[in-house]
Chains A and B, each alone.
Chain A
Amino acid sequence: MNRAAAAATLLPSEMLHCADMTVLERQRARLKWEQEQQQQQQQLQESYFGDLGGVVFHQVTQQGEFEGGLGEVVTRSVKPDPGLVDNSSAWIAHDVMAGFVGACGYGNGTGSGFDMNYGIARTTSCPPTVVAAAAAAAKGKDSVGSDSKMSSAVGRESFKKRKADKVVAEDDTRDKRIKGCAEEGESKITEKNNNRSSSSSSNQNGNNKSTKSSKENSAETSKDNSKVTEVQKTDYIHVRARRGQATDSHSLAERVRREKISERMKYLQDLVPGCNKITGKAGMLDEIINYVQSLQRQVEFLSMKLAAVNPRLDFNIDNLFAKEAFSACATNFPTMGMSSDMTNPAYLQLNSVQQQLVSCCGLDMGINPPDMGIRRTISAPIPETFLDSSCFTQIQPPSTWDADLQNLYNVAFDQGRSTSFPPQAFAGSIEASNMKMEM
């Protein structure tokens, strides 16, 4: 139970991840920052990081300003630093703004705006961490070489808490009880994400923005790869909410659930034969139900058969396979000869046997189980070509029974399918049905 639940909690995030890859593809130009994270996750080459390292750095400075100055975020973030390229800084400002707008939109309506108080108020569960991280980031702007380690450690610590938050959020999603809690977790995650990236790139700052620093950055990110993945997943939820189609958490959870259902349906479609042609969930579900019913009736029928036959008690699992091999050979020799010489008689015999059985079973309405079992086996998708392929399946086994033991099941199964209703079984089932009539 616990394991299954854990798997279920893991699933939605993965699916979000997958789904939002496409979203990112579409919004590539706008979400440069997310794309960079994605590339980090895929561990691409340093040249790319050389380009993007600068971007990270810009963002850090923006971030530092953002956390340092109270209430002046808008003007500051729009105002670029002297060394920065206007275009990229505008992008980053936009991103940061959007991130915090999103965070505030997620919040419970504390209405604290874009100032530092907001960040502290949001993270009441672990205030020291965030404050320390913020302080580290702010310091990191000035002189960072020594502080980088500390801030990264803080980031790591906050990662653990973030994970816990995430689990809580996922559980709530599953229970369809997401209100403020999950959103709180998300916004917290966003903030911590910012903190972490600032810490990682403050390290870069200490190295004077050289190409070496970009290499180091890539090394660090590859080391913290799992963290980045976690960050990405949560960030993806964020992106989804921003898209505008479904902003409330209920429809988010709903979409995840629907994707999960269709995935399971696809799996079931592979499992149930003859289900590939059917489109539409209702028809597919009907087919699945029919198949399960047919299997259950086959089990009933077979257990009736086993109850009716006279068992040989010297029989155990060790010689089951040997006997199977023997019986397969013994029964396949005559049928093979028959099918090679006169295929029609075999076919007719089978047919007449079936008719006999159906007529026997048709005597009373109370004998449904065997009748239904047989009808099922005929109408079930696997033995659909029962009569047509009977000769073929009878010819087939001799080519395989001299193979190794692994094929024995197969042989026996083929044989069982082709001559699945031997006369003794009829006696048994008729007996059983008589008994039922009496009762």
Chain B
Amino acid sequence: MSPQRLSLNPRSLKSRFTKGFLRSLRKIHKERPTSTSPREIFQRYRKVKTAADKSLASAVGSGRAWSRAMLCKCKNQGKRRPVLVRRINNNRAMKRSELTEKKSGDDDEEVGFDQASGLRKLVPGGQAMDLCRLLEEAAHYIKCLNTQVQVMRCIADCYTT
């Protein structure tokens, strides 16, 4: 948000995200040329949302836990057999969350269980982190979300004007 972070450096997170997002946006619009039926628009909305998430996560890379989780989620969303995949994932996630509940029970006591679990749900992949890690990832995630919102707003403005 501060002007000194806004650079057009081609290796910056922002430009990488912009590049990837625009590419996938163009692909989305190309495969289904303009249609105004609500269903189409809704489907396209889902696709755009997924594309935004995916391009952000791939711009960040696999160095962060949340981006890895997000990429994994996007990959699973695009699969043909969503029911099966989801069931397996749910099982695994349940087990993992049970484990983490046990392990990080005292973590959450001091800050309040509700808040910690709320943040866990918001940060992708947050179910399997302890509190320290969760806060670290949340900080990075907030930064990246800020960038994402900024870029998407720019693109939307350019589209509409």
Interface residues of A (CB under 8 A from B): 1, 3-4, 8, 257-258, 260-261, 264-265, 267-268, 271-272, 281-282, 285-286, 288-289, 291-293, 295-296, 298-300, 302-313, 315-317, 320-321, 323-324, 327, 330-331, 382, 405-407, 409-410, 412-413, 415-416, 420, 422, 424-425, 428, 431-432, 434-436, 438-439
* Interfacial residues of chain B within 18-73, with CB under 8 A of chain A in the complex: 18-19, 22, 25-26, 29-30, 34, 36-39, 41-42, 44-45, 47-49, 52, 63, 65
| Given A282-B112, A307-B48, A313-B26, A264 and B157 contact (CB-CB distance below 8 Å) | no
The yes or no answer to B146 lying at the interface (CB within 8 A) is: yes
Q: Pick 20 A–B contacts, CB within 8 A, sort by A.
A: A4-B133, A268-B139, A291-B142, A292-B122, A292-B142, A293-B122, A303-B45, A303-B48, A303-B152, A308-B45, A311-B29, A315-B159, A320-B154, A406-B6, A409-B6, A409-B14, A410-B6, A412-B157, A422-B161, A439-B39
| Given A261-B131, A299-B49, A406-B7, A285 and B152 contact (CB-CB distance below 8 Å) | no
Q: Give the complex CA separation of A330 and B138 in angstroms.
A: 38
B15 proximity list for chain A (CB < 8 A): 317
Q: Give the complex CA separation of A378 and B56 in angstroms.
A: 25
A285 proximity list for chain B (CB < 8 A): 111-112, 115-116, 118-119
A304 proximity list for chain B (CB < 8 A): 45, 48
Q: Give the complex CA separation of A306 and B39 in angstroms.
A: 15
Q: Is the CB of B152 within 8 A of A299?
A: yes
Task: For A268, give its contact among B1, B14, B142 (CB under 8 Å).
Answer: B142
| Closest A-B pairs by Cβ, 7 of them | A435-B38, A264-B135, A285-B115, A307-B45, A307-B44, A295-B145, A302-B152
Q: Is the CB of A281 within 8 A of B111?
A: yes
Knowing that A268-B138, A382-B1, A431-B41 touch, tell me 16 more A-B residue pairs with CB under 8 angstroms. A268-B139, A271-B142, A282-B115, A292-B122, A298-B149, A303-B52, A305-B156, A307-B48, A308-B41, A311-B159, A315-B22, A320-B155, A330-B161, A409-B150, A422-B160, A425-B160
Q: Is the CB of A315 within 8 A of B158?
A: yes
B90 to chain A, nearest CB (A): 21
A292 proximity list for chain B (CB < 8 A): 119, 122-123, 138, 141-142, 145
Q: Give the complex CA separation of A286 and B116 in angstroms.
A: 9
A289 proximity list for chain B (CB < 8 A): 115, 118-119, 122
Interface residues of B (CB under 8 A from A): 1, 3, 6-8, 14-15, 18-19, 22, 25-26, 29-30, 34, 36-39, 41-42, 44-45, 47-49, 52, 63, 65, 110-112, 115-116, 118-119, 122-123, 131-133, 135-136, 138-139, 141-143, 145-146, 148-150, 152-161
Q: Give the complex CA separation of A265 and B110 in angstroms.
A: 13
Task: For B30, give its contact among A309, A313, A320 (CB under 8 Å).
Answer: A313
Q: Give the complex CA separation of A327 and B44 in angstroms.
A: 26
B161 proximity list for chain A (CB < 8 A): 327, 330-331, 422
When C-beta atoms are compared, the residue in chain A nearest to B130 turns out to be A257
A428 proximity list for chain B (CB < 8 A): 41
Q: Is the CB of B115 within 8 A of A412?
A: no
| Given A261-B135, A292-B122, A306 and B25 contact (CB-CB distance below 8 Å) | yes
Q: Is the CB of B115 within 8 A of A264?
A: no
A274 to chain B, nearest CB (A): 13
B160 proximity list for chain A (CB < 8 A): 305, 309, 422, 424-425
A281 proximity list for chain B (CB < 8 A): 110-112
Q: Give the complex CA separation of A1 and B73 in angstroms.
A: 18
A302 proximity list for chain B (CB < 8 A): 52, 149, 152-153, 156
Q: Give the complex CA separation of A304 and B112 in angstroms.
A: 34
Q: Give the complex CA separation of A387 and B149 in angstroms.
A: 20
When C-beta atoms are compared, the residue in chain B nearest to A319 turns out to be B158
Q: Is the CB of A299 within 8 A of B52?
A: yes
Chain A CB count within 10 A is highest, among B25, B30, B38, B154, for B154
Q: Give the complex CA separation of A258 and B131 in angstroms.
A: 10
Q: Is the CB of B41 within 8 A of A264?
A: no
Q: Give the complex CA separation of A406 and B159 in angstroms.
A: 21
A407 proximity list for chain B (CB < 8 A): 3, 6
Task: For B119, give its contact among A288, A330, A425 (CB under 8 Å).
Answer: A288
Q: Give the complex CA separation of A3 and B37 in angstroms.
A: 48
B11 to chain A, nearest CB (A): 14
Q: Give the complex CA separation of A334 and B68 in angstroms.
A: 45
| Given A272-B142, A302-B156, A320-B154, A260 and B149 contact (CB-CB distance below 8 Å) | no
A4 proximity list for chain B (CB < 8 A): 63, 65, 133
Q: Is the CB of B153 within 8 A of A296?
A: no
Q: Give the complex CA separation of A8 and B65 in angstroms.
A: 14
A324 proximity list for chain B (CB < 8 A): 154, 157-158
| Given A261-B131, A406-B6, A307 and B152 contact (CB-CB distance below 8 Å) | no
Q: Is the CB of B131 within 8 A of A3?
A: no
Q: Is the CB of A296 within 8 A of B145?
A: yes
A342 to chain B, nearest CB (A): 23
